[in-house]
Amino acid sequence: MATVSPSWNYTLHLPRDPRAPGIARGTLRLVLAAHGMPELTPTAELLAAELLTNSHCHTKGPYALRLLSSEPGRLRVAVWDTDPRVPPGFTNAAAPEPPPHAEHGRGLPLVRACADAWGASILRELGASKGGKLLWAECGAGAW
The edge-to-edge listing of strands for the beta sheet with 133-140 is: 8-14, 63-69, 74-81, 133-140, 117-122
Helix (H) or strand (E) holding 121: strand 117-122
Could you tell me which residues are beta bridge partners of residue 50? none
d(CA 47, CA 51): 6
Residue 34: per-residue pLDDT: 95
Residue 143: per-residue pLDDT: 46
Residue 6: per-residue pLDDT: 83
Contact 12, 65 (CB under 8 A): yes
pLDDT tens series, the chain, 144 aa: 445 568 999 999 999 888 998 999 999 999 999 999 999 999 999 999 999 998 988 888 889 999 999 888 999 999 999 999 888 777 766 666 777 776 666 677 788 888 999 999 888 765 555 689 999 999 997 544
d(CA 57, CA 128): 24
